[in-house]
Amino acid sequence: MIPDYTERSKSYQESVNQINKQLQLIGWSRLIALLVSGTCFYYSRAENGLPFLIGGIGFLGLFAFLVNYHFRVKRKLQVAVTYQWLNESEDLFLKEAKPYYENGKEFLDTKHPYSFDIDLFGPHSLFEHLNRTSTVIGSEKLAASLLQTQSSEALKNSQEAIAEIAEDLEWRQAFQVYAKLGKDSHEIRNYIEHWQDSRQSLSIVSTVLAFIFPALGLTSMILLWQTDRVYWFNVGVILYVINMLLFGAIVGKIKNEIGKTERIGAALLAYSEMLRLIEKRDWKSTKLQEIHEKIHSKNQAASTLLKEASKIYGNMDSVNNGMAVFLLNGTVQFHVHVFRQLVKWKKKHRESISQWIEQIAEVESILSFSNFKVNNPEYSFPDLNEKQISFEDLGHPLIPKNKRVCNSISFDRERFVILTGSNMSGKSTFLRTLGIAVILSNAGSVIPAENATFFPIPLLVSMRLSDSLEESTSYFFSEVKRLKLIIDNLNQGPAFVLLDEILRGTNSDDKQNGTIGMVEQMVRLNAIGMIATHDLEVCETTRSHPSYLNNKCFEVEIRDNDLFFDYKLRNGICQNKSATFIMKKYQVI
């Protein structure tokens, strides 16, 4: 059943309002605690001022607690706001097909065997329809899953993992929320990938002095408090200057660490929270169990380690705050100690972080397919086998359900189909529908079909080609190169081939002879698939290979001086034509 995203969105909006009220209360409480603390410290200098001193310290501690609590509640607000956005966006997606994740246009590749032809990436694409990834590597992993062919065992494992995550809406949305909050970017990813090359260090002398001089400074302040002698104030000033000089000696290294990218701490916190969600589940599917095993380092949970790194970066970010720099480093060399913690952490864990993030990407990709399954409960997983491909009531997932026409087809006996039909009858759409079905099946996803049988098989397509000014090639030559690529791949093994009206860039005789020759190649190389053509003579090829080739068509009817298309796939060769009728109707001829 499709979740009620509208109700969920309203529920989280109420949570947002409540948390905002809580933040206001904390803000006023924090101000009052600070004022009371300052007042107590003022009166503590008087005779018998010890109770005021204790009170001042107590209220200062309360202020510190409220500051920390404010940050935690603010994070809670960010989570609630993101939940509200997520459910509202998913609701709009279902009702208005309004996408709210990236469309993957960066993965467009005109030279790929099928991605450009099938509207796989870019606006109004399958990727845009599926995508629920927020990390850069997650997006890449999802794209890769649509561009590869898995083994039968891996395909089965993918189906099981997708089904398992689909069962838990709360877990799935929590993962999406934390991923979104991380605001991952190519800059952050590149930065983390180069951690293994980083060899930043802090000398032993700097480390020792970072403890000695702050301790001496604290001692001078205590003596000043006890004796009221200006001498100890002067000593404290000198020690303050020394601390700042020692901080200045390594500030370049610190700036170099955090100056490469912003929000690294937020990204690491998001990674940590996503990994925690993976860690705390007892997974049943093999693929998710394997992912679970890979996110531990020497019996330590990756989520805990990354949270530790996030806090280090959060502390280090204050190096850009002038007041914090002078207050914290002149007294305790705060950023020197934080930098020392970072160096120690990276030395111990930098080789593991890439693997941890890789597992996050795997889960994001699986989650996208799981969300697709939940939003389309009528879709089904193909039954896996070793030699049969068939689709029952197959439709195109990007066509609205109220307009979608579904068709059934089997490639069990006749392995290759010659498809005919008049213009606008649905030939190209059906070819793309088949292509998307094969792509989704290869990824382990559900497909828009009532039932299906499938085995892993590469997809090869020639549908959408163009001239290339850069390579100085004509449309015809571009198509010949694509057909040569298809033949070369078929020589390596079986593939599912989709061809749409090939050789349009040449004369009719060459086109007809070339198309027949290509069909003969499909038979010789044991290809499975379909070719769409307007040349009815090509259909005669089935007479020579009746056990391998089959004719199917889309028909058109003329009703009340208008064309009527039902987009239903039929057996046989197309009998009706529409081009001349349309040209006459619009007074072209």
Residue 311 zone, left/alpha/beta (φ > 0; ψ -120 to 50; rest):
alpha
- The confidence score (pLDDT) of residue 174 equals 97
Residue 540 confidence (pLDDT) above 50? yes
- The confidence score (pLDDT) of residue 469 equals 39
* Listed residue (424, 405, 422) closest to 533, CA to CA: 422
The β-bridge relationship of strands 407-410 and 528-532 is unpaired
DSSP structure string for 455-500: ----EEEE-----BTTTTB-HHHHHHHHHHHHHHHHTTS--EEEEE
What is the C-alpha separation between 150 and 137, in angstroms, rounded?
19
Burial of residue 134 (number of CB atoms within 10 Å: 0-12, 13-18, 19+): buried
- The confidence score (pLDDT) of residue 225 equals 66
Residue 547 zone, left/alpha/beta (φ > 0; ψ -120 to 50; rest):
alpha
What is the C-alpha separation between 468 and 475, in angstroms, rounded?
8
- The confidence score (pLDDT) of residue 474 equals 67
Residue 472 confidence (pLDDT) above 70? no
Residue in the structure block whose two tokens are 């597992």? 359
Q: Show the tokens assigned to 138.
A: 């997650």
Residue 476 confidence (pLDDT) above 80? no
Angle of CA points 546, 436, 110, to nearest 5°: 100
Q: If you average pLDDT over residues 457-472, what whole number do you get?
A: 69
What is the C-alpha separation between 370 and 381, in angstroms, rounded?
12
Estimate to the nearest angstrom the gap between the alpha carbon of 449 and the chain centroid.
25
* Listed residue (515, 506, 559) closest to 540, CA to CA: 515
- The confidence score (pLDDT) of residue 260 equals 55
Residue 102 confidence (pLDDT) above 50? yes
* 316: Cα within 13 Å, side-chain hemisphere: 30
- The confidence score (pLDDT) of residue 31 equals 93
- Supply the DSSP symbol for 167: T
What is the C-alpha separation between 77 and 532, in angstroms, rounded?
55
Could you tell me the pLDDT band of residue 470, with boundaries at 50, 70 and 90? very low
Angle of CA points 50, 55, 58, to nearest 5°: 130
Q: Which of 121-125, 211-215, 531-535 is predicted least confidently?
A: 211-215
Q: Which of 98-112, 181-195, 481-495 is predicted least confidently?
A: 181-195
Could you tell me the pLDDT band of residue 6, with boundaries at 50, 70 and 90? very high
Q: If you average pLDDT over residues 341-356, what whole number do you get?
A: 85
- The confidence score (pLDDT) of residue 509 equals 81
- pTM for the predicted model, two decimal places: 0.87
pLDDT digits (tens, 9 = 90+) for 47-80: 677 888 888 889 889 988 998 899 899 999 999 9
Of 92 and 465, the structure prediction assigns the larger pLDDT to 92
Could you tell me the pLDDT band of residue 266, with boundaries at 50, 70 and 90? confident
For the CA atoms of the chain, what is the radius of gyration? 33
What is the C-alpha separation between 356 and 360, in angstroms, rounded?
7
Q: If you average pLDDT over residues 328-339, what whole number do you get?
A: 79
- The confidence score (pLDDT) of residue 216 equals 79
Highest mean pLDDT among 223-237, 240-254, 544-558: 544-558
What is the C-alpha separation between 337 and 386, in angstroms, rounded?
61
Residue 315 confidence (pLDDT) above 90? no
Of 459 and 352, the structure prediction assigns the larger pLDDT to 459
Q: How much is the mean pLDDT over the chain?
A: 88
- The confidence score (pLDDT) of residue 198 equals 62
What is the C-alpha separation between 101 and 368, in angstroms, rounded?
11
Q: If you average pLDDT over residues 466-479, what whole number do you get?
A: 59
Highest mean pLDDT among 104-118, 149-163, 308-322: 149-163
What is the C-alpha separation between 134 and 102, in angstroms, rounded?
9
Residue in the structure block whose two tokens are 């300052």? 38
Of 470 and 500, the structure prediction assigns the larger pLDDT to 500
Long-range contacts, stretch 57-64, CB < 8 angstroms, 24+ apart: 59/33, 59/34, 60/33, 60/34, 62/33, 62/37, 63/30, 63/33, 63/34, 63/37
Question: 332-360: buried (b, 16+ CB within 10 Å) or exposed (e) per residue?
Answer: bbbbbbbbbbbbebbeebbebbeebbebb
Residue 467 confidence (pLDDT) above 50? no
- The confidence score (pLDDT) of residue 322 equals 67
Q: Does residue 398 contact residue 129 with C-beta atoms inside 8 Å?
A: yes
Q: If you average pLDDT over residues 312-317, what whole number do you get?
A: 80
Residue 519 confidence (pLDDT) above 60? yes
pLDDT digits (tens, 9 = 90+) for 409-426: 999 888 999 999 888 888
